[in-house]
Amino acid sequence: MLIHKTEDVNALDSEKRTPLHVAAFLGDAEIIELLILSGARVNAKDNMWLTPLHRAVASRSEEAVQVLIKHSADVNARDKNWQTPLHVAAANKAVKCAEVIIPLLSSVNVSDRGGRTALHHAALNGHVEMVNLLLAKGANINAFDKKDRRALHWAAYMGHLDVVALLINHGAEVTCKDKKGYTPLHAAASNGQINVVKHLLNLGVEIDEINVYGNTALHLACYNGQDAVVNELTDYGANVNQPNNSGFTPLHFAAASTHGALCLELLVNNGADVNIQSKDGKSPLHMTAVHGRFTRSQTLIQNGGEIDCVDKDGNTPLHVAARYGHELLINTLITSGADTAK
């Protein structure tokens, strides 16, 4: 194939990509070589500031990466998110490409705009082999991003148990907290990652550890309707009546949340106090009234929920249900004997 002298090898498409970007994305080493010898700019940046090297790495083409580097591709080039080719390799499981790039870098701990290192990206995407490689090459296992989240937080949140185990075996801090006080257990519990939750509990992490809002892993699991996690945490002895900074217990969260019905039943069956009140006097029954959780209000009443309890403003659950217009709930409360004269 010949490139005619009249052709512009650096012509841009609508995304500011050159033919070299395309060849790199396709991993075509021969065309890459030909384009460069015909005057293609090796470090041209597209709209997102991605270079052909970023593209070659994303396509996991070791050969394309080697050709570009032979022609002085910038291994430290950053895109608009400040990601280098190593970040892209880590996110895309491009282990062979990373092995080519790493010896040319002064550090594997460079962070992107969000403060994430290549290790964060590898952990987030569940790439065990890449995590192993980065750790072997000196990655900081406890590096934190802009929100103080470690690689372990991300692996736990995404449910990558093998990566979680690997990081912990290499000395990752199991009790690490981000800026809002979330631990890896909070992260896993909130996203329903039951196997990671079990693993962390087996390691003996503090089950009732709180974040800056006073919420435990059980609070978060209830808020997000993660019933399997709620079951595991309660079986393991989590405090079902732990109040957060506002005085809300996991039962308040289960009463309010969109998918908390089964969580609420699990808590009630595990001895949660159905009449506990928050700092503003709201009981779990008040929470069902605010959010119109009709079935859950019945469960609470059947288990001793005080139907006419008043909050700090003197409102009963019936007042609250009426204010929010939840007709089914109003009927349930009245049928169950709510005092309409209050």
Written as tens digits, the pLDDT of the chain (342 aa) is 445 555 789 988 889 999 999 999 999 999 999 999 999 999 999 999 999 999 999 999 999 999 999 999 999 999 999 999 999 999 999 999 999 999 999 999 999 999 999 999 999 999 999 999 999 999 999 999 999 999 999 999 999 999 999 999 999 999 999 999 999 999 999 999 999 999 999 999 999 999 999 999 999 999 999 999 999 999 999 999 999 999 999 999 999 999 999 999 999 999 999 999 999 999 999 999 999 999 999 999 999 999 999 999 999 999 999 999 999 999 999 999 999 877
Task: Please tell me the distance from the alpha carbon of residue 333 to that of residue 342, in angstroms, as a whole number.
Answer: 13
Q: Which two structure tokens, joined as six digits, stand for 265? A: 């039943």
d(CA 214, CA 341): 37
Whole-Å CA distances, 102 to 44, 108, 118, 126: 21, 7, 11, 20
Instruction: Report the predicted TM-score, pTM, of the whole model to 2 decimal places.
Output: 0.92
Q: Domains plus CATH for the chain?
A: 1-106+119-124 (1.25.40.20), 212-342 (1.25.40.20)
